[in-house]
Each structure stands twice: as structure tokens, then as C-alpha cells.
Chain A
Amino acid sequence: MKHARVLLNGSELDVTVEDNGQLKSKADGQLINEADVTWLSPIKEPGTIFALGLNYADHARELAFEPPKEPLVFLKGTNTLTGNKQNAYRPDNIDFQHYECELVAVIGKEGKNIAREDAMDYIAGYTVCNDFAIRDYLENYYRPNLRVKSRDSLLPIGPWLIDKDDVGDISDLKVTTHVNGELTQDGTTADIIFDVPFLVEYLSKIMTLKPGDMIATGTPEGLKDMQPGDTVVCEIEKIGALTTYIVSEEAFYGDKY
């Protein structure tokens, strides 16, 4: 089942997404057209957002990095989250902002010191995120630093959370990004260096994982600069396609600019 959260006439609604694309209210079964809603992040109470750097063998090569021997994990603030078909902004006066299409595993059960063999029992399901980065802001302190990776709106996620059992094997799913209709990123989760069971074991040795925590598993090669006006679609086979509209900093913040 696909679980989503949407705004309808100013109210937040928990819905399921039917096979024909219609939305169905979990509260009263009412059918809703997608055209009438604003998509929200599908995770109602987001916990810790873990993200992986350099976790695809091909992407590490692209950035001229040796594949890491240990996962490169960083944390993101919940201010970064936004839903499907929403705006994300390009900061003023920068040279290079790129998307990162990523498979996200969402934790469904609290656990610590989880063994790799048991790890999948702690996963509720999956979604797609676009973990934007602004390379101009990289500094070698807690890299990738928060200025690069924790900006408002720069982690679109969704459209929905799909139950783990509806997806099955995640070890060879196509990961693609289209910018304005052109294919720019074309990879597979088969190139992931540290897979979901490994990451659940690794992180839960350090800390307790809780429902609503998310693990964004990194991105394959194919980086491209984004400009206001661009439409970017990140898609993962069997999970979903996430659309984001790039706008200027001024357009995004409006009166607060």
C-alpha cells in the first residue's frame, strides 16, 4: 500500500494512493483527485534524517573519491523536507547546485544493536528523496556541512511511503533523474556500497533507531547544475517518481527575501 499525506482545503489528510492514482482518505474513505491537493512529506512525524555520501561505486568515481571503507553518514534538519510537486530553491550567486535521487528506507520499529539479518524487520517501507547539494558551500568541516545539506526545501521527499512488502527485493532497482524531460542520471541500487541492512546494523550500534527515522542511501553518478525554471523528476523503480520545481531564492522566500 502507498501511504501519503496531503493538504486538502487547508487541512492535512492521511491518504492511500490507489492503483489508478486516485487518493483515498484514511479517515472516511472519500476519494480525492490529485489535482485538488498539495503533497506533503509522507512521514508524519519525521525523526532523524540520515543521509549517505559517496555510497554508489559509480558516483564516488565521478567525484574522484576512493569508495569509502566506512559509511559517510551525515544528518539533515527537518526544515529541508517538502513534498512532491513542490518548489525547491536555488540560492543566489552560486555556480553549482545538483540533485541527488535517492532510495529512502523509513524505520518502522524502535531498535538498538540490530543485527544485519534482522534489519529488514525494522523497516516500514520506502520512499524517494532528492537530496540537493550546493557545492559552492562545501567546507572541510563536518563535510558535507549543514550549509550545503540542511537548507529549507532542499530535501523533497515522496510522493508516498510504500510498504516494504509491496516492493520486495531492493538490491537492483533502477534509479533515474530527468531534468526538463532529459535523462541525466541513470543508475541502479546494485551499485550501492553499504546497503540498507548494513546501515541499519551500523547506525543502531551507535544509537537507538526510532519510527520516523529515515535513511537516504546515496545517489549514483550523473550530476548536473540546476536553474530556476527547471523541473526535476527523481524516480526509483517500484517505488515512485518525485517531481520538484526549481525557483529562485527570491521567489521561494517571497516577503522574507
Chain B
Amino acid sequence: MTNNPIVKGKLVCVALNDSDQFNAMQAEFGEAPYKSAPTQPVLYFKPHNTWSTEGAEVEWAVTEGQPAEEMVVGASLAVVFGKECCRVSPEEALDYVGGYTLVHDFSLPEKSYYRPDIKGKCLDGSAPIGGAVVPASDITDPQTLSVITKVNGEVVNEMPMSRTVRGVAELISTISYIMTLQPGEVIAVAFPGQRAAVAKGDKVTSEIAGVVSLNNQLGQ
């Protein structure tokens, strides 16, 4: 596991923010254990043991003493706060962003959203962040960005911000009414609903064209 110089304090991830997935799950949302669709952003933490970097190898997960049968990856645009952000409106939210970067969320497959997924999401080194932080002043409108993920050179996912349930500004505003965000804290705003399956040794590259890329490789 590698310390990451970009993120400080906390890394908040937003689940179920891909409108394709959200719409496809409507019937499931109505059933147990969910019983109704989420009315708020669905959030989880990647704690500090998960933080890793550009170029780092990601350990293959071990569950119950055995190598995990499956792992998946999702990539997300992430905002890095530049100043303290407490109870801000969507209109002013982007003023608090210091820069933009990428987060890889390596995990066990997302089988249920009912309980916090500690076993699936808290694996050591499973959240590389980077490679660089692009200054917010270089990005006019984050809603125009799109994240492409390749595994061993083949495109497995594309997540345009135009496909989100909630955009960057709305998420920052909503989350800032739950928790005050400090400089260096990160929100990963939109993972593709279909996480990509990965195998041992796979090379995973995600990119916002012309802006930033993040490269990692699965361990053996």
C-alpha cells in the first residue's frame, strides 16, 4: 500500500449515479431489501488503507484466506477540494474545487447496495488516485468530461458526465450539507454502473482525453 499525496482526510464515493444503471434497477429498487428507490445520493467511504497512486500495483483480494474469485474496477472523475466547503449552494459549489483527478475503485463485485460493503470496498491499496490533479481553472464545465477505461488496451467502460443522475455541483452541495469538506478531501462523483471484471496481472488505464490518465496493474 502506498500513501497518496493527493487525498487528505477522506475519500467519498458516489454509487448508483449512472442513470443507465439507475433506470435499469427501478424494479429492483421497489423490492426487498430496498423497498423504494434512493431519494439521496448513495455514498460510501474508501478509507485510508485503500489510498494508492498512479502506477501502483493493486493487490489481488483475499477473502476468507483464499484469493478472491472475481474483482472489478470502476473509474470516476473526482473533485479535490481547494478550500473548506460547508453548506454551499449548487451555484457556488464549483468555486470550492481545487482540481480534478481520477479514482480507480477496485473491489469485489457489487452484489448488494443494502449494507455498507466493508468486505468489498475496503481492500488495501484498492483506491488509486491521480495521476495528476488538473487545476479547476483548466476545466470550464466538468459535466462535459467523459472517463474511458481500458483493460489491457481494450475499452471496457465509458462514463460521460452527461449520463449521471446528479451532476458535480449538485453532489458537492448536497454532501456539504451532510459533512464539511476540507482542502485535500476528495469526492469520486460518477462510476459506471457496470463495473469491469479484471483478472490477475491486468493493466487498467483510465483517461479523460487530453486531461488526465491513471494507470494501474493487478497483482498476481
The residues of A with any CB-CB pair to B shorter than 8 Å are 47-48, 72-75, 77-80, 112, 137, 139-147, 150-152, 203, 205-210, 253, 256-257
Beyond the given A140-B35, A147-B43, A206-B122, could you list 19 further A-B residue pairs with CB under 8 A, ordered by the A residue number?
A72-B115, A74-B116, A74-B118, A75-B45, A75-B122, A79-B182, A80-B179, A140-B114, A141-B34, A141-B42, A142-B116, A143-B116, A144-B116, A145-B43, A146-B44, A146-B45, A205-B64, A206-B119, A253-B87
Count of B residues near A, CB < 8 Å? 40
Per CB-CB distance, the 8 closest pairs between chain A and chain B, nearest first, are: A48-B47, A74-B116, A146-B43, A79-B179, A141-B42, A75-B45, A140-B34, A207-B122
The answer to whether B87 touches A75, judged by C-beta atoms less than 8 angstroms apart, is no
The answer to whether B178 touches A146, judged by C-beta atoms less than 8 angstroms apart, is yes
Choice from B15, B34, B40, B123 contacting A207 with Cβ under 8 Å: B123
**A206-B114 Cα distance, complex, nearest whole Å:** 19
**A21-B60 Cα distance, complex, nearest whole Å:** 50
The answer to whether B116 touches A75, judged by C-beta atoms less than 8 angstroms apart, is yes
Report whether over half of chain B's contact residues are helix, strand or loop; otherwise say mixed: loop
Residue B1 CB within 8 A of the other chain: yes
| Number of inter-chain CB pairs below 8 Å | 102
- Known contacts A75-B45, A75-B116; A140 and B33 CB within 8 A of each other: yes
**A75-B34 Cα distance, complex, nearest whole Å:** 20
Chain B 85-99 interface mask (CB, 8 Å, partner A; 1/0): 011000000000000
- Known contacts A73-B118, A206-B118, A207-B123; A150 and B179 CB within 8 A of each other: yes
The answer to whether B124 touches A207, judged by C-beta atoms less than 8 angstroms apart, is yes
The residues of B with any CB-CB pair to A shorter than 8 Å are 1, 9-10, 12, 15-16, 33-36, 38-40, 42-45, 47-50, 64-65, 86-87, 113-119, 122-124, 178-182
**A256-B88 Cα distance, complex, nearest whole Å:** 9
The answer to whether B43 touches A210, judged by C-beta atoms less than 8 angstroms apart, is no
Choice from A142, A151, A203, A256 contacting B115 with Cβ under 8 Å: A142
Nearest B residue (CB) for A51: B116
- Known contacts A79-B180, A145-B40; A48 and B114 CB within 8 A of each other: no
**Chain A contacts of B178 at CB under 8 A?**
146-147, 150-151
**A48-B114 Cα distance, complex, nearest whole Å:** 21
**A203-B43 Cα distance, complex, nearest whole Å:** 21
